[in-house]
């Protein structure tokens, strides 16, 4: 069967039903149902003929890993990566978040965009090839991990247990675009300590709120040092999301006539390959040093607040990497137009488990998955056409990277 015939042979009803069944598992992070979904995926991969394993993740959690061994004689191995855990349901839903509802245009459900549509798409892509009798030279590895929402602890555990391949596709939602770079994420806390006075003598005070008003726009507009290119620089970003200032470290609020002498900011930084946590923190510290010069007597403390879970580091792959070219060509064949590729926002601001394969194993990969436009919002949904086209793109990518072992 030709590649074109294969992508036109997918069982669309089965693909939609399989995704609906995944949505029907309420797989909130670190819950019993998350374990049951991992067990379900392992069972489904076993039924498909894959070597299937449940691998432990800290916190009594489980990854489901399946491998279709290739026939050898050339070809490369290809790993697909996606997470099973989801965000919780918010207010404002008008459909049942766990029904897996399908209408003429969309499939709905919590986690369907982030990222069960991607998970289901690579399962259905491999199933289509197996059902058609296609034999591959290289291995295909399907990884269904947990803990991406906790910094990628599931993927880190899989890597530490020996899971790897020549190339990977991370299937986080990108609206089918090929994202070749995403930033690293760093959380930080800044504590400002001043010197209080009653408002009648505020000229003698060191007012931390006034100082913070100066600082916040500087952080929100910062470009960190060491960016490799202007394109890298454009996705540098600092952001302050929490501000709390009052009297004392206890942040007493009942005495507003006094000048605030303690303030805590919580923020996040986004940085690119070539920049480091240390360089980002040094740039932030430089802002604080200048602030303290501007406000004599002010004390400023910078704290790396990312120590309680793994950092989501930056990721990058060259545009001419074989995996990028394979996905580009697959998209062109499916959609009849060039695939948007490169440093694409907003997905470039998101963290993914792609970074762990890139940073820890030096693997080349690309981030490309269905969903994104309606991600993490009430009535989360994915276009049916996007989901089914993603199945087709993954089929062609597998054929390109792993290569067919014999004619069919």
Residue 306 is predicted with a pLDDT of 80
The boundaries of every CATH 3.40.630.10 domain in the chain are 3-182+314-402
Q: Note the pLDDT of residue 9.
A: 95
CATH class, domain 184-304, is alpha beta
Q: What is the mean pLDDT of residues 237-266?
A: 97
pLDDT at 232: 96
Q: What angle do CA 174, 175, 177 make, to 5 degrees?
A: 65
**pLDDT single digits (tens) 268-302:** 999 999 999 999 999 999 999 999 999 999 999 99
Structure tokens at 348: 């470039």
| The CATH classification of domain 3-182+314-402, taken from the options 3.40.50.12280, 3.40.920.10, 3.40.47.10, 3.40.630.10 | 3.40.630.10
For CA atoms 31, 37, 43, 45, give the dihedral sign. negative
Distance, in Å, from the CA atom of 115 to the CA atom of 36, rounded to the nearest integer, reads 17
pLDDT at residue number 408: 45
Please state the rounded mean pLDDT for residues 61-85: 96
Q: Are 361 and 81 in contact (CB under 8 A)?
A: no
Instruction: Supply the pTM of this predicted model.
Output: 0.92
CA 176 to the chain's CA centroid: 14
pLDDT at 308: 67
**Mean pLDDT over residues 306-315, rounded?**
81
Higher-scoring residue by pLDDT: 307, 266: 266
Tokens of 91: 């207010």
pLDDT tens column, 143-176: 999 999 888 999 999 999 999 999 999 999 999 9
Task: State the average pLDDT over residues 313-336.
Answer: 98
Q: Are 12 and 390 in contact (CB under 8 A)?
A: no
State pLDDT tens for residues 130-147: 999 999 999 999 999 999
Within the chain, which residue ranges are assigned CATH 3.30.70.360? 184-304
Q: In the predicted model, is pLDDT for residue 79 greater than 70?
A: yes
Q: Which range among 150-154, 167-171, 222-226, 386-390 shows the weakest confidence by mean pLDDT?
A: 150-154
* Nearest alpha-carbon partner for 314 in 174, 114, 180, 167: 180
pLDDT at res. 407: 61
Mean pLDDT along residues 31-47 = 97
Tokens describing residue 161: 């247990």
For the residues 29-47, what does the mean pLDDT come to? 97
Quick one: average pLDDT of 385-400? 98
Q: Is residue 1 over pLDDT 50?
A: yes
Residue among 353, 289, 344, 377 nearest 155 (CA) = 353
- Averaged confidence pLDDT in the chain: 96
Q: Residue 254: count other Cβ atoms within 10 Å of its Cβ.
A: 6
Taking 80 as the threshold, does the pLDDT of residue 310 lie above it? no
Does residue 249 register a pLDDT over 60?
A: yes
What does the alpha-carbon distance between residue 55 and residue 41 come to, in Å, rounded to a whole number? 12
Q: How many residues are given for the chain?
A: 408
| pLDDT attached to residue 48 | 97
Q: Is the pLDDT of residue 80 over 50?
A: yes
């Amino acid at each position: 069967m030709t590649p074109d015939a294969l992508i036109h042979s997918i069982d669309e009803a089965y693909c939609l039903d399989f995704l609906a069944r995944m949505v029907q598992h309420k797989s909130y992070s670190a819950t019993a149902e998350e374990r049951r979904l991992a067990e379900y995926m392992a069972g489904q991969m076993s039924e498909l003929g894959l070597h299937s394993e449940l691998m432990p993740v800290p916190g009594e959690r489980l990854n489901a890993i399946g491998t279709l061994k290739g026939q050898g004689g050339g070809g490369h191995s290809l790993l697909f990566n996606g997470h099973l855990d989801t965000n919780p349901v918010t207010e404002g839903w008008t459909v049942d978040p766990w029904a897996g509802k399908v209408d003429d245009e969309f499939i709905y459900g919590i986690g369907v965009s982030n990222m069960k549509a991607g998970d289901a798409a690579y399962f259905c892509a491999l199933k289509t090839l197996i059902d058609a009798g296609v034999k591959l030279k290289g291995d295909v590895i399907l990884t269904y991990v947990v803990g991406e929402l906790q910094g990628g602890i599931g993927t880190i555990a899989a890597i530490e247990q020996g899971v790897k391949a020549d190339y990977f596709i991370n299937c986080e939602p990108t609206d089918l675009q090929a994202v070749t770079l995403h930033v690293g994420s760093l959380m930080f806390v800044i504590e400002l300590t001043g010197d209080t006075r009653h408002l009648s003598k505020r000229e003698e005070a060191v007012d931390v709120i006034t100082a913070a008003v100066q600082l916040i726009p500087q952080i929100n507009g910062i470009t960190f040092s060491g960016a490799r290119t202007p394109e890298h620089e454009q996705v540098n970003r600092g952001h302050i999301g929490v501000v709390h200032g009052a009297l004392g470290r206890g942040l007493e609020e009942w005495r507003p006539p006094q000048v605030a002498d303690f303030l805590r900011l919580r923020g996040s930084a986004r940085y690119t390959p070539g920049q480091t946590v240390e360089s980002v923190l040094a740039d932030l510290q430089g802002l604080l040093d200048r602030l303290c010069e501007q406000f004599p007597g002010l004390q400023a403390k910078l704290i790396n607040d990312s120590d309680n879970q793994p950092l989501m580091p930056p990721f990058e792959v060259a545009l001419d990497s074989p995996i990028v070219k394979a996905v580009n060509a697959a998209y062109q064949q499916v959609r009849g137009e060039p695939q948007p590729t490169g440093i694409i926002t907003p997905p470039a601001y998101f963290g993914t488990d792609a970074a762990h394969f890139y940073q820890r194993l030096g693997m080349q990969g690309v981030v490309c998955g269905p969903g994104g436009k309606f991600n993490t919002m009430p009535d989360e949904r994915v276009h049916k056409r996007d989901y089914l086209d993603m199945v087709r793109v993954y089929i062609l990518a597998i054929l390109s990277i792993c290569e067919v072992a014999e004619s069919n």
